[in-house]
Amino acid sequence: MSFRREAFVPRGGPDGGDGGRGGDVVVLCTASLRDLRALRHRRQFRAGNGAPGSSQQRHGSKGADLVLRVPPGTIFRGVDGDLAGREIELLRDGERQVLAKGGAGGRGNKRFANPKRQAPRFAERGLTGESGWVEVQLKLLADVGLVGLPNAGKSSLLRALTAAEPKVAPYPFTTLEPVLGVLERDHRQLVIADIPGLIEGASEGAGLGDQFLAHIERTNLLVHLVDLAPELSGAVEDPIEGIVAQLQTVERELAAYSPRLAGLPRLVALSKADLVDEERVAQATARLQGLGFDRERVVAISSATRQGLEELVRLIFASYSPPAAEPAEQAEPQPPATDLVAELIASGRPLTGDGGGGQKLQPKGAPEVTVERAEEGQFRLGGEAVELLARRFDLAQPEARAYVAGRLRRWGALGALKAAGWAPGEPVLVGDQPVAIGED
Ligand SMILES: Nc1nc2c(ncn2[C@@H]2O[C@H](COP(=O)(O)OP(=O)(O)OP(=O)(O)O)[C@@H](O)[C@H]2O)c(=O)[nH]1
Ligand SMILES: [Mg+2]
């Protein structure tokens, strides 16, 4: 609240500027990060306060946003307070979202001047921003997923390509949990996930279940391993048909689990090439071509002899394209909360009743005003618009009180109070603040 004071300008009028809105707590997906270390040593994160407005109609500046940088795959879940139920998942580099919104600033007294009220001696209060506890979780995120039936040779391949050392054994379900390895080439890095073997029904929870499919959901490239010698690990009538059957089983499970997985680019690695002859490789490749896997995407490999590994790595880097960064979402310009009050006020049509005794209904279109009894028997006015008014104005200021009382009357608070048994003169609470209805 401020009034213009200047020599030779008598009664300069109100000139208090608006307060700035509070800063937001913003979360930013940052591809160069791999863990949540940055959040570990602090428990409270608070954006800056808005600056108060001041004289000469100077508006206060907006509070500084607090930006929390987290790796792709981070999930924020609001637990309580204003953030209860809020869920934000960050996947792409540069993706930015508001986790907790700063509160709106209050209007300066200049804004409350009108021909009737030329020198308002009150101003609006700023609102508190959103707050609450948030759980932060980082999901395992691999760029490339190795898929295939149990025993196809996935873990052996990961060992051969990266420094990771998953267990390898000549029986199915050796790998029980996904293992990550980092593949490097020309200063580029890709994270490869060795996923436990998928069997028929995996998408419905069979075998090690669909929990592992969730791990490959975020990958952008699949390397599908198919054993070139299925006859060595089970009764297979025709090795080539056995190869095709393996491939199709896994493809069916992927498709049943998620259309995104089914649509991912993929390479087929025909594994254990050292166990078969050239002719087997040629036949299998030709057969896969017939099924729509073009020759450039099929490579025969052996983790034992390293045959084809260099070619596979080349293909992986050539086929991998990072998820397209979506254009930064333009934050929808939110109408400041001050406008909400104005809107609510504007929607309250003039009173049709006489204002006299008896049951007067609320005017049409006015925001809802509820009446309840407070602890000491006092009447308490509530409802969304009323609560907002109460937060917005300091009712210890006589003029603010009169302003609020005027609003409440227009919204039919008087009728609502009378209907609830209130008698003129009895104290009334607006929110938690006392106000005298009928005062001017
Ligand atoms: N000869 C030969 N054997 C291989 C090759 N790759 C894997 N194997 C063998 O195949 C068996 C299974 O290999 P793993 O790498 O454990 O297979 P996996 O796909 O990880 O199996 P699960 O973890 O059970 O899904 C092991 O006995 C490996 O030694 C290869 O290139 N050549
Ligand atoms: Mg394994």
C-alpha 302 – ligand 2 centre gap (Å): 15
Is residue 111 within 8 A of residue 178, CB to CB? The reply is no
> Which of 147, 149, 155 to mutate for ligand 1's pocket (most ligand atoms within 8 Å of CB)?
155
Is residue 121 within 8 A of residue 397, CB to CB? The reply is yes
Q: What is the mean pLDDT of each run of 10 residues along the chain (440 residues)?
A: 81 88 94 76 90 90 93 91 94 92 93 89 91 87 88 94 87 77 83 80 64 72 95 85 93 85 92 96 94 90 97 94 59 43 43 37 76 84 88 84 83 86 83 67
pLDDT for 140 equals 60
Q: Which two tokens stand for residue 114?
A: 């009108």
Is residue 142 within 8 A of residue 123, CB to CB? The reply is no
Reduced to 3 states (helix: H, G, I; strand: E, B; else coil), residue 279 is helix
Q: What angle do CA 289, 214, 273 make, to 5 degrees?
A: 35
C-alpha 171 – ligand 1 centre gap (Å): 8
pLDDT for 335 equals 41
Determine the residue type at 175.
Answer: T
Q: Is the CB of 177 under 6 A from ligand 1?
A: no
Whole-structure pTM over 0.75, yes or no?
A: no
CA distances to 74, 139, 293 from 263, rounded to whole Å, are: 24, 21, 13
- Of 134, 173, 144, 137, the C-alpha closest to 315 is 144
